[in-house]
Structure 1
Amino acid sequence: MDERQINYKDFLKYVHEHFAENITLEEVEAILHLEEDYNKDSPNSLGKSLVIDRLLFTGQKKTGESFIFDQPVYQGINVWIADNHKGKSTIFKIIKFALTGADSIKKDIKPWITEIFLQFTIGKITYTCYINRTGRDRGGVYRFSINRFMELRENQKFDDAQKEIEFEFNNQIQFEEKIQDFFFEQFSFYTLKYTQKNSAKDSFEMNTSSLSWATYFKSIYLESSNYEYLFFDKERYGLQGKKIFEMILGLPLTYPINMLNIQMDRVLETIGKKRLIDKTKLEFNKNNEVHLKKRLAEVTLEMKALQEGQKIEFNDRPLVEEYNKLFEKINESRKQQRGVSDAYQKGKNELIACEAELQSLEGDKAKISSEITMLRKRELNIDIYRQSESFFTNLEIKTCPHCEKKVSEDKKKSEVEDHICSLCGEESKEQKVDPEEINEKAKLLEVERSKHEAKLEQIDNTLKKRYEDIEILRKKNAEEYAKSVAFTPIETDSRRLSEIQTEIESIGKQRSKFTDLLNKKDNFIKEEAVLLFQLNEIAKQESQIDSNEMANLNLKRDVLDYALKGLEKKRVQLNKDILSKLQELIINEVHAFGLLSIDNIEISDKYELIFLQHGIAVSFTDLTEGEKLRVKLAFYLSLIQLDIEHNLGRHPRFLIFDSPGSEEMVPKHLQGLSDIFKSINDRFKDKLQIFVGSALRDFSHITDNEKTFIKEEDHFVF
């Protein structure tokens, strides 16, 4: 047996011996049995690495400009240098999408891209991932190069290459599932699970989640937003960072510890629910007990009232007689009041109608008076016209008032016959009005005026009569109003009537209640007996809440806890050599990167990095931003070196650093980071592959010229 494995049967015996008095060996095995072997994990390297060979993608920008990005890449360090927001991160996110199916490309860039080709090599086999983004994502992973893919597509000979198709997909969900299965098989990864408690207060519900290939990829793609964390910002949820670490190293016993922890969480969930149910039962019994005791007290009082009610007389006859007399008196008073009120309202309506008629007559009078005045003005105008016409008709002009020449008889004759003025010689277009016509108009106006004056006289007579009628109505209305307010108020009688009614109803309720009590006497006696029995049963149940089910759950929890502690203790022994080698690699790299203030590094039993800095133990989160970046780089590089130098671990030897150095703006530190990358390239260029994207021009010399892709200022990568 491999020294890094455990004997499953011996482990079962070890756990059973601790609980032999309470459980059988078979029952222990039923609790600890898993679908796969306890020795599933192995830290031994598979000797495989992931190498990207070429990235090609095409599309059309929002401006309508078409683009083709086609770039070969190499082992060692490849660096993209361009200003911020010019497409470096998009390059890395496209690579991530092609390798995981997880699409994090910016929403405004995503519609641009129509096709993606990524050529990569694992071991000695070359693959091409093809994604068509026109509509629903579709494509596949093929065991040949991009050039071969293009050739087959151009010649329509894909049917001849069926054996070289790794898989194909018709939507993104299929792609994510199949690419995960592909890489899990290539690097012997599998899904680790973790539980999370429901966020609702006082809830014991647990949700089970899984670490996907996209999550493990966070140990490859180091995004700028996560440089302050060793893995990523949410790594503490379900201890995801620890689980990534365990998977990348292939630490022995990772699988059984993970699965038994899930079982433990489920048992704790069940215990929590059971306790909640038992608590709910107790609370229900308590509430029920309070209710039963309250009802018992009510029954006792009602039986007592039954005894007391036999001594009470229920005589309401005098009240009924008084009520009837008052009721008749109030009705008669209200009837008289209604008669007077109706007479007053009728007179008021007549007065309103008469006043409205009066107002209408006054309006008619004003209109007719206005018409008469207008007619008189027209008569006056005709009279004035008639007088002026007579004056000018009898006037004879003998001499021109301007030149004093005499007007000849011929001109006078022409004026009469031809209407040509004897003075100015102009022909007159206007004809003189006939005096008879004027007299006729005057007579018509006089007749019309006389009619209006007669009408006005008639309206004046009617108005006089209406004013007299209104005066009479007002006096009559005042008399009716005086009668309506002279009635004696009935409020006192009404109040007394209400009091009598309340007293009669009270006596009626007492009589009814007593009658009901008499009818329910036997029921009260039976109900009292039932209530006493139920209260006695509740008292018995309170002592029986802790059931056998809870005892079995607690035993299962203790078995799992003991087994987990034993496995974790064993894993510390099995992994001591692996972790010791990794610690040594990390501290060597940290010192090589200039962090001499860190004296030593330890990996705790919980797989957390502990740094001894100036003699004080600190965690990763306690380091400065510049220290975090160097330590993170040293950590991931050491994971790869563990594979290269000791054939341990399963890291694909491929890293993406997006915008490192954003916190390293001090020239001295920036130069140090540049030297680090240059040193890595010199030492490991044929044994790993690292992509670096940065806006810092200082990184332009960290690798070979053919691996350096520099864009001028303000130019896009694609």
Structure 2
Amino acid sequence: MSTVQTETLLETRIADKADVKVDDVRDVFTEYGLPLVVSPARPRSLHVHRLRVAGERTGDVQPGPFDTPLNFTTGLTAMVASNFRGKTSVLELLTWCLRGTPRNEMQKRVRGWLHHVDLDATVAGEPMAFRLDLTDGEITSAVVLAGGDISSLAGVRAPDAGRGITALLRASSSDSYAEQIAGLMLGRMDLQPLVNSFKETSTQTHGWPAYFGSVYLPAGGDKALLGEVTSNGLPGRLLQVFLDLPAAAALTRVKTVHGVRLAEDKARRTAAAAEAAERASERERLEADLAEARKRLSRLLPSSEDDGSLVDLAHDAVRLARALADAQDQWDDASRVFRRARTERQHAAKLVNDVTESATARLLFHGLNPSSCPRCDQEIDDVRRQGERHASTCAVCAREVTGDDEDPQEVTAEAQERLETSTDIEAAAKEALERAEAAVTDLTRRLEAAQKQLRRAQSAADLPARLAAQEDVLRLEGALSVFREPEKPATGDTEAKTIKILAAAADLLEKDSKSAAEALFEEVNQEIVGLATLFGVPSLKSVAIDRSARLRIYPLGSKQEWFTDQTAGARLRLRIAVVIALLRVGRRYGVSTHPGLLLIDSPKSEEMQSADARKLFAELATVAAESDLQVVITTADFDLASATLPADTIRQAEPGASLW
């Protein structure tokens, strides 16, 4: 099926399920940048060739300057040295170069020895040279170079135009290098940031360092089956690096957007209901207080006919208070209209000046003028605005604005006409505002006079109590007259339709992904059992992995267990078995997009017998050879490496000596 056919089929299925038009589906997916195409698996190879470590070691073991090169074979390379002699540091240095930051296992003391770290690697088919200069364990200068082939980069630490060697990035600190590497590797490896919903109100994004968890396997004690983080569904996302299941990437993004929109809608409704209850309670309180205040006032007012004018004066004061509240609302409205009209007139005046002086402004005259990017909502700053005027570049997309400025007089005239119209509108709005101000002033004066007359008309004996009661009545009547009723939730038909479309898309993609995974996972489970048994996991009947990268264990003669229930040694064996199984089945079906590089630190240290360790090393070497996989593994067991692996795959230090 072609890409166009696939896209048409998916959007049609979503439209049918949500009972909307296909154009509605396209609009929603376009608005959120969601894919309507199930893309095929893309190769994203990662291969290391040479590592050079230079600096000066302090302490009791081999103190002094060092400059050590280490080469890596195409299959499995074993780093063999005594404990605390640099094996893990090799993996951490590879990680620092490729991920941008080392893991916590990189000791600060060891980092302080380093002056230069050079790595030659092939990233997605492109030869690259990573060159780090360090002082006191921190990067002071770094550059990533690209060249024609990997051999041309050997020993090169700066761009060389004559040899076709260019700089892909430069950094002057550890933080800058980490940030730039994250962006560079995501782009070169054709990976999207891992996005998940956060507390049901927003999204959380994880970049290249999270992906690197599929390259550097966790230690046995870690709870995560894949990667370093067990929360937010990240292990399941990393599973997609091993098996590019159809619709899996699109499904995660759709579910994230749907979850956030649903949570926002729920929050709006909850807030609206709470506000409505609060406002209803407030109105009831005001009405009860007003009724009590009127009773109190009626008891204080004189009952003789001669004093009947006092009631009329009170009514007049109430009427004027209500009229004043209405006039103030009208003044508020007129003020908003005037400010908006003034802004429009100022914008029109600026536009006349722009189109008079700038051909670019005339070419963009009839175009949109957004204040922020319509895709990411980032504000369009003054630098971009200045670029549009002086450099002829669009303030939104930063591309050069080209075209024929054929009718400048017409554009200028139209802009002038807009200015005249907006000027007239501003004048009319100003007149309306002045009338509203006059009405407020007049009613304020009349109310003050009525209140003064009312106070004079009251008898001296009851004056304080009457005044207090009348003020309470006026205050409460005024509060009720301007009482703001609660607003209804903002969710309308458009929002409801968007949520409906996203829900339908998530349901369809979930079914597609689940269907595609069933056949693959059946074979993966069989591979895991065979490999785990080979590696020394005892009494294993079967396993079951799901799309969230959760692994269920079924021991012989016992109830189901989870991966996290196993011992550290069993977790390490199972984790390696899972990785190998995923790579084998993925390559068998042509859906494996793993970078093809695995870093494994001292597997034998995790409660593994020598016989099991030999089987593990031998199987890793076999898988690496048959699957175009590169494995860098460390061990302190000299006999294990020499008895299991070819001599040309072993990088070994003398017992007790440092590896670099």
Q: Taking structure 1 as the reference length, what is the TM-score of the superposition?
A: 0.61
Name the CA distance, whole Å, in 2 between partners of 1:109 and 1:555.
58
Give me the whole-angstrom Cα distance separating, in 2, the residues matched to 1:290 and 1:706. 87
Decide whether the 8 Å contact of 1:52 with 1:120 is kept in 2: yes
5 Å-filtered alignment, 1:16-55, equals: 16-20=15-19, 23-33=20-30, 35=33, 37-43=35-41, 46=43, 49-55=45-51
Distance in 1, matches of 2:548 and 2:93, equals 34
CA distance in 2, matches of 1:613, 1:119: 44
- For 1:633 and 1:170, locate their aligned partners in 2 and report how far apart those are by CA, in whole Å: 35
Q: Equivalents in 2 of 1:276, 1:292: separation in Å?
A: 24
2:616 matched to 1:676? yes
Q: Which amino acid aligns with 1:193?
A: V
Higher helix residue share = 1
Cα distance in 2 between the residues matched to 1:87 and 1:130: 20
Q: Where do 1:364-383 residues align within 5 Å?
A: none
1:525-536 correspondence runs (5 A): 526-527=474-475, 529-530=477-478
1:211 corresponding residue in structure 2? 206
Within 2, Cα distance between the matches of 1:606 and 1:53? 33
Larger mean Cα displacement after TM superposition, 182-191 or 130-139: 182-191
- 3-state SS of paired residue (1:137): strand
Q: How far apart, CA to CA, are the structure 1 residues paired with 2:588 and 2:14?
A: 38
Partner residue in 2 for 1:85: 84
1:517 aligned partner: 465
State the partner residue of 1:498.
Answer: none
Match for residue 70 of structure 1?
69
* Post-superposition offset of 1:264: 0.9
Unaligned runs of 5+ in 2: 305-458
Q: Who is 2:216 aligned against?
A: 221
Calculate percent identity across the aligned residue pairs: 17
Q: How does 1:113-132 map to 2 (within 5 A)?
A: 113-121=114-122, 126-132=127-133
Residue matched to 2:140: 136
Q: What's 1:636 paired with?
A: 579
Q: SS in structure 2 opposite 1:10?
A: helix
Report deviation, 1:5. Answer: 9.6
> Counterpart amino acid of 1:142?
A
The offset of 1:280, in angstroms, is 4.0
Distance 1:181 1:528 in 2: 61
- Read off the aligned partner of 1:17 and give its amino acid letter: D
Shift of 1:285: 0.8
Does structure 1 residue 549 correspond to structure 2 residue 491? Answer: yes
Letter in 1 for 2:118: F
- Seen in structure 2, the aligned counterparts of structure 1 residues 107 and 146 have a Cα distance that, compared at 3 Å, is farther
Q: 1:227 to 1:260 in 2, by over 3 A?
A: same
Q: Does 1:59 align with 2:55?
A: yes
> 1:294-347: CA deviations, max 9, x gaps?
63255246425625999xxxxxxxxxxxxxxxxxxxxxxxxxxxxxxxxxxxxx
Partners in 1 of 2:159 and 2:144 — Cα distance?
A: 16
Deviation at 1:140, TM superposition (A): 1.4
* Alignment CA distance shift 1:297-1:111 (3 Å): farther
8 A contact 1:192–1:255 mirrored in 2: no
Residue 26 of structure 1 and its aligned partner are, at CA, apart by 3.1
Aligned partners of 1:168, 1:8: CA distance in 2, in Å? 36
TM-superposed CA distance for 1:18, in Å, is: 4.1
State how far apart, in whole Å, the 1-side matches of 2:6 and 2:159 are.
53
Counterparts of 1:150 and 1:574 in 2: how far apart (Å)? Answer: 44
Counterpart CA distance in 1 for 2:530 and 2:248 is 27
1:109 aligned to 2:117? no
The yes-or-no answer on 1:281 pairing with 2:224 is no
Contact kept? 2:237, 2:548, Cα under 8 Å: no
Superposition deviation, residue 221 in structure 1: 0.6
Q: Deviations over 1:73-93 (max 9, x none)?
A: 213332223344332222111
Q: 1:648 to 1:562 in 2, by over 3 A?
A: closer
2-structure distance, mates of 1:167, 1:599: 50
Give the deviation of 1:561 after TM superposition.
Answer: 1.6
Alignment pair present for 1:608 and 2:550: yes
1:447-596 alignment to 2 at 5 Å?
A: 514-519=462-467, 523=471, 526-527=474-475, 529-530=477-478, 541=485, 546-547=488-489, 549=491, 552-595=494-537
Amino acid at match of 1:282: A
Correspondence list, 1:169-568, <5 A:
169-171=170-172, 172=174, 175-197=177-199, 205-206=201-202, 208-224=203-219, 227-236=222-231, 238-289=232-283, 291-293=285-287, 295-296=289-290, 299-300=293-294, 302-303=296-297, 306=300, 514-519=462-467, 523=471, 526-527=474-475, 529-530=477-478, 541=485, 546-547=488-489, 549=491, 552-568=494-510
Pairs within 5 Å for 1:617-636 = 617-636=560-579
Q: 1:662 to 1:169 in 2, by over 3 A?
A: same
8 Å CA contact 2:79, 2:652 repeated in 1? yes
Contact 2:18 2:500 in 1 (8 A): no
Kindly indicate whether the alpha-carbon contact (under 8 Å) linking 1:303 and 1:521 is maintained by their aligned counterparts in 2: yes
Structure 1 residue 710 displacement after superposition = 3.9
Change beyond 3 A, Cα 1:124–1:292: closer
**Of 605, 620, 623, which residue of structure 2 is paired with 1:662?**
605
Counterparts of 2:288 and 2:639 in 1: how far apart (Å)?
A: 84
| Residue 672 of structure 1: how far off its partner (Å) | 1.1
1:688 aligns with 2:636: no
TM-score norm. by structure 2 comes to 0.65
Match of 2:418 in 1: none
In 1, Cα distance between the equivalents of 2:218 and 2:524? 23
SS in 2 for 1:169: strand
2:45 touches 2:596 (CA, 8 Å); kept in 1? yes
After superposition, give the CA deviation of every residue in 1:556-580 in whole Å (9 maximum; x if it has no partner).
3233222211111122233444434
Residues 431-475 of structure 1 show CA distances to partners (whole Å, capped at 9, x for unaligned) of xxxxxxxxxxxxxxxxxxxxxxxxxxxxxxxxxxxxxxxxxxxxx
Q: 1:673 is aligned with what amino acid?
A: A
User: 1:493 corresponds to which residue?
Assistant: none
Q: Counterpart amino acid of 2:607?
A: E
State how far apart, in whole Å, the 1-side matches of 2:245 and 2:259 are. Answer: 22
User: Does the 8 Å CA contact 2:83/2:636 hold for their aligned counterparts?
Assistant: yes
Q: 1:524 to 1:656 in 2, by over 3 A?
A: closer
Q: Gapped runs of 5+ residues in structure 1?
A: 198-203, 311-510
Matched residue type, 2:463? T
CA-CA distance at 1:265 after TM superposition: 2.4
SS at 1:284 equivalent: helix
Between the aligned partners of 2:280 and 2:159, the Cα distance in structure 1 is 79
Highest Rg: 1 or 2?
1
Cα 1:525–1:610 change in 2 (3 A) is closer
Q: Say which SS state the counterpart of residue 588 (structure 1) adopts.
A: helix
CA distance in 2, matches of 1:715, 1:175: 32
1:175 deviation in Å?
3.8
SS of residue paired to 2:77: strand
Match of 2:368 in 1: none
